[in-house]
Amino acid sequence: MIKVLIATRNKDKLKEIKEIAESQFEIFSFLDFPDIGEVIEDGKTLRENAVKKAITGWENTHIITIGDDTGLEVFVLNGMPGIYSSRYSGGNYADNRKKLLYNMAGVQDRRARFVTIAALVLGKNAVKTFEGKVKGIITQKERGKNTFGYDPIFLPDGYTKTFGEMTLKEKNKISHRYQAFKQVFKYLRGVAQPG
């Protein structure tokens, strides 16, 4: 099996990625390596943050590492919360949603998109990035309690369910993270050898 380290301690994200990965990948995370310090996400772009996480993982373990960063970009808010999505309110998932809905009160143009950048590090100076995007709108109120983050207030284009109303399997057929990681795992199948 191909060993892959996911550069995260977020159990919700990890659950999604394990669902996307196929059986030939043995998935580890930063939870398996408690000595790896917290990675400060101080990049100016999603790509910079993803690459930083991936390099940190590889340098500490020499295991093929994937780091990712996701942003929810709201058009009328000039792309915010963007790279600050996970820490938008300074609180938890619910606080972030509450702040965004407050900032969107009375706004007609509710277009938004999720963007995920996944950075793959196969070795020293061997970095490749992949991107996934999904367009939609911010709902007027929360709908659904499945999945996590902004999912209960994001309705993808062409669907009647928010991500929060979808099952993980339903979400993973179309999500930004699915698109990015599907590309990563396909690429890895072509270049990596088990071991």
Catalytic amino acids? 69
Non-local CB neighbours of 135 within 8 Å, separated by 6+ positions:
111, 112, 113, 156, 157
CA 112 to chain centre: 16
Non-local CB neighbours of 160 within 8 Å, separated by 6+ positions:
none
Identify the DSSP state of 23: T
Beta strand pairing status for 81-82 and 111-123?
A: unpaired
Beta strand pairing status for 81-82 and 126-138?
A: unpaired
Q: Exposure of 19 by Cβ count < 10 A (0-12 exposed, 13-18 middle, 19+ buried)?
A: middle
Whether cis (ω within 30° of 0) applies to the bond prior to 152 is: no
Q: What is the rounded distance in angstroms from the CA atom of residue 138 to the CA atom of residue 157?
A: 11
Report the DSSP beta bridge partners of residue 28: 5
